Structure 1
Amino acid sequence: MFAAAMELFLTNFLAALPLFALIAIGYLAATVKLVTPAIGQALSKFAFNIALPILLFRLMSDITHLPPPDWNIALAFFGSCFLVFAIGRFLGHRFLNLNSDERTIFGMAAVFSNNVQLGIPVAVALLGQEAMPSIAIIFSLNGFLMWTLVTIAIELGRAKSPSILTTVTKGTLQTIRNPIVIGIILGFLWSISNLSMPVPMAKTIAMMADAAAPVALFAVGVGLTQYRITANLSTTLLITFLKLGLQPLVVYGLCRIFNLGHEAMQATCLLACLPVGVNVYIMAQEFKVMQGATANSLLVTTALASVTMPLIMSCLGLL
């Protein structure tokens, strides 16, 4: 039995290895000065604003031929986010003596996955286009819900009496302008239009879409060279445990409670297994708290996820 489990893990690890190898190549290239951080930032912008939206457009343009998504996916995934966020805030207060702002960013680091740069390539490579309805639900809501949550939590902690309606409205407008969401919406609209895509257009989209994953993953690697493990080890390790250990298990439990199908559960749990997203570092910079610890958590969780993701997915019988 142990031999069979190890064989399953190794199979899944090797399937995911090329994706993390691209991150390692980007990291190495930046470390030996073959590329600069500015190049990495430019590649990341290209991936986020152009290549990944085009990839999602191509995948979504055929979505009407796939089974409809189960909206319980959102309840399972974001339910886990809210639960682990609350746990993170408690642990940050109890064991790290963090203030209110720091606890909010700490809790967000425990739940905000790198869904775009890493999640899209990994999900498509390991699960195929069948996962698109499931991951599209999460991508469409993730930024809006997480940014709204952190903004309200920070402003409440600072006793500014925030307007919930204003915050939600602002978050909705930001979500609609997000290139990833635009790609999903346009792809869905094309799918329901039943229009045939002209061959030159289809080939151009295919070429751009094929560039999305390697460029995005390479850019992640380049970006990681900007972070260093310094004096925040206890905070970083606790974030790592919550993000790579606890959140996948909470998501799996909620998937069971909501009786999600196997493919929906695969996609939902896979995204929960991903490392900390760069948005958390942006949040830390925006509110001027926890920059060092969140930067460290980006580096550590991305490195460890190459092992923990296939391990957890294999142990749960989802790959």
Structure 2
Amino acid sequence: MTVFLNNFLIALPLFALVGLGYLFASLRLVTPEIGKALSKFAFTVAIPTLLFRLMSNITQLPAPKLGVPFAFFGSCILVYFFGRILAKKLCHLTTDEQTVFGMATVFSNNVQLGVPISIALLSPASMPALAVIFALNAFLMWTFATVQIEFSRSRSPSLSRTIYQGTMRSLRNPIVIGIILGLLWSLTGLEMPVPLEKTVDLMANAASPVALFAVGVGLTQYKLRSHFETTGLITVLKLGVQPVVVFLLGHLMGLTGPELQAVCLLGCLPVGVNVYIMAQEFNVLQGPTANSLLLTTILAAVTLPAVLSLLGLL
């Protein structure tokens, strides 16, 4: 209980910033447009700068084991297909709906919540493992979901075209750009000039509060309405099942210490907003994904430190 309480108190200020964003937006002191602008700033400028700073010394740390992406994305594949089966049997969803449902059970809010929480709770030694997952996540998830939807709609999917488009989208992603530039700087072995270092620090320090506040503002756009059975099932799979699966796979892959902490923490995160964007793009299951985005973010304030404490990772 003491371990959980300590971890909960460490994570609480981060989720409190989310709550403040929600409160300010609910009181109409901040408009949704401001929230979108803050989110855009965090995603395109502040968080990439933060990742650049963290990656700029990455060559001084050991390279992550190959088991890191296999453990994390392996858990995504297993929970995704298990979720599809449950969605069909219990919720009687169509094939397209099963695809979006499955993505909701594994597509985490890795950027806006994952980056700040990882930095607050984990040591710098976890950064190589986190960087691998951050760089691959959007590309693999979007490509996988798109292929699934194309097959289910009886098109003639071009796997090569889908992978190419996914790769180009990933290379234009500011998060990936920040990681790559930081890695390149680290490889030079150069010291950053003091004025540049201070500028980077100022921008990077803004990333966490701005991103978390923006998440809270954005949550006011979603309301818990109907589809409670589907929403509840997504929530259990995302916050309960995936963390356990990634923990077990991590052990099978021989991960320990910071690497195991990194993959498990990311597995504990709530549903990412990309799933709702996916639901809108494919025009299926928009209600349950909006519900699960709101509900899992609220519950993660307790479940994330609780699960990591129970697994002995913090």
CA contact (8 A) 2:151 2:157 kept: yes
Instruction: Find the partner of 2:226 among 205, 225, 231.
Output: 231
1:276 aligned onto 2:271: yes
Identity %: 61
* Equivalent position of 1:101 in the other structure: 96
Cα deviation, residue 276, structure 1: 0.1
2:260 pairs with one of 253, 256, 265: 265
Q: Distance in 2 between matches of 1:280 and 1:304?
A: 18
Residue by residue over 1:289-314, the C-alpha shift from the partner in whole angstroms, topping out at 9 and shown as x without a partner, is: 11111011010000000000000000
Per the normalisation by structure 2, the TM-score is 0.99
The equivalences for 1:56-75 within 5 A come to: 56-75=51-70
Is the 8 Å Cα contact of residues 123 and 258 (structure 2) preserved in structure 1? no
Match of 1:204 in 2: 199
Match of 1:50 among 34, 37, 45: 45
Query: 1:204-227: CA deviations, max 9, x gaps?
Result: 000000000000000000000000
| Deviation readout 1:162-198 (Å, 9 max, x if unpaired) | 0111101110111111000000000000000112211
- The alignment status of 1:178 with 2:176, answered yes or no, reads no
Cα offset, 1:14, TM superposition: 0.4
Q: Which runs of 4+ in 1 moved over 6 A?
A: none
Show CA shifts across 1:142-172 (max 9, x none).
0000001100000100000201111011101
> What's 1:250 paired with?
245
Query: Is 1:27–1:222's contact at 8 Å kept on the other side of the alignment?
Result: yes
Distance in 1 between residues matched to 2:19 and 2:48, nearest whole Å: 24
Alignment of 1:27-46 (within 5 A): 27-46=22-41
Secondary structure, counterpart of 1:187 in structure 2: helix
Pairs aligned (count) = 314
- Measure how far apart 1:128 and its partner are: 2.8
For the residues of structure 2 that align with 1:79 and 1:50, how far apart are their CA atoms? 30
- For structure 2, the residue ranges without an aligned partner over 5 or more in a row are none
Deviation at 1:48, TM superposition (A): 0.2
Counterpart secondary structure, 1:94:
helix
- Across the aligned residues of Structure 1 and Structure 2, the Cα RMSD in angstroms comes to 0.6
Determine if contact 1:124/1:131 at 8 Å carries over to the other structure.
no
Output the amino acid matched with 1:274.
Answer: L
- State the partner residue of 2:81: 86
> d(CA) in 1 for partners of 2:297 and 2:225?
17
Report the alpha carbon displacement of residue 71 of structure 1 after superposing the two structures with TM: 1.9
Cα distance in 2 for partners of 1:189, 1:304 equals 38
Q: Secondary structure at the match of 2:226?
A: coil
CA distance in 2, matches of 1:194, 1:12: 35
